Amino acid sequence: MAKPILVANWKNYPGSLAEAKSLIKQLSKDRASYKNLAIFIAPPLTYLDTVSEYIPSFARLASQDISLLDQGTHTGVVTPEILKSFGTRLSIIGHSERRELGETSEEISKKIRIAIRSGIAPLVCIGEKTRDADGEHFEFLRQQIEESLSGLNKNFASKLAVAYEPVWAIGSRAKEAIDPADLSQSVIFIKKVLADMFGRKTAEGIPILYGGSIDVSNATGLASVTGIRGFLVGRASLNAKTFKEIAKSLTSK
């Protein structure tokens, strides 16, 4: 049975290298709690070196985005080659906070291919902005998935993971996360869209993670939803104790 997946999206926190070092040290002390999970940490790029020093004992490195450009004269760009040289194994692609900055589904589908060619697994984020009683958000989700994964063949599709992150649930307090019944509906729907695109067998192999206000109080309920392989955690991943508790919810499911 494949291990549950837990991804920490540190965004642009902690605010200093010293704090980042202290957080990764605390996390590595808890390494025994993470041994039955596939853990990924996505720190700000400037902390890659420090984090990569402590990470091998319990987790793998991830990036919060990936560049569309390969090595060349591109000022300000961190290429997939550079990420790879630090040991980056997974890239969060198409996070809603990047889509908000203007990233298009076309760019996202290119980034997915770039990541796979670079030997980095893409974790593709999707999620509706609002949820309505008529279920119109499902149409939005279908379109976003189809556009973000357009042009991918089955072979590429089999290498990706999907993070379902309803935008309205991100960065809120724990009680504003999705409820398990609604998450269950969304997972069934996402699987159906993936099966329509790539066939049932490939779709079944694509891990689906949930992200959006995951915290200690809601992790167990959401982890128990059928079809959820793990979590993409923002705010709560910045506290080693909380992160450990969230990990427990996935291993005891």
Which residues form the interface with ligand PGA (CB under 6 A)?
A: 9, 165, 170-171, 211-214, 232-236
Structure tokens at 176: 């504003």
Opening angle at CA 24, ends 21 and 30, nearest 5 = 145
> CB of residue 100 vs ligand PGA: minimum separation in angstroms?
11
Cα–Cα distance for residue pair 133/128, rounded to 1 Å: 13
> CB of residue 181 vs ligand PGA: minimum separation in angstroms?
20
Structure tokens at 234: 């923002």
165 flagged as catalytic: yes
Cα–Cα distance for residue pair 27/203, rounded to 1 Å: 33
Catalytic residue from among 95, 97, 103, 137: 95
Closer Cβ to ligand PGA, 80 or 212, answer by number: 212
Cα–Cα distance for residue pair 48/158, rounded to 1 Å: 27
204 flagged as catalytic: no
Closer Cβ to ligand PGA, 65 or 165, answer by number: 165
Q: Please, what is the end-to-end C-alpha distance for the chain in angstroms?
A: 13
Catalytic residue from among 103, 106, 165, 176: 165
Closer Cβ to ligand PGA, 171 or 205, answer by number: 171
Structure tokens at 30: 């808890």
> CB of residue 237 vs ligand PGA: minimum separation in angstroms?
7
Closer Cβ to ligand PGA, 44 or 171, answer by number: 171
What positions carry a catalytic annotation? 95, 165
